[in-house]
Structure 1
């Protein structure tokens, strides 16, 4: 998704129609999750540790590894 689209969605969250704002929020959240996954993958490829990534995201190492670890990359989630 292009930066212009992200900005459009961000602006749309502040509209008068709450349903329109909620729809924009849901789409923005989905796109931000995808972007986070891409950036975490990129950081790991460049040698960043799970601890470094977790610190930047403000979560525990275990949380970031559970969300973005090897099984998550291949579409498998632990129950």
Structure 2
């Protein structure tokens, strides 16, 4: 998370992808996937972000911030071209 907070998204993504390979707890995995979605959102990779938010919600349907971010992306995409 340090790399993400410092804006080093490439390193953060690498760390999160590695974490998805080893983390088996669905609840913890949901937050890893959510964080990957956040990075893709920051990079304006909306389709990828939505995919990771969906995956996070499959593992943890009580993740309101994922629903919120998905709604923001859908609203943004509706108002402006990708």
Q: TM-score, normalised by structure 1?
A: 0.43
Greater relative contact order structure (CA < 8 Å, 6+ sep)? 2
Higher helix share: 2
Q: TM-score, normalised by structure 2?
A: 0.41
In our comparison, the structure showing a higher alpha carbon Rg is 1
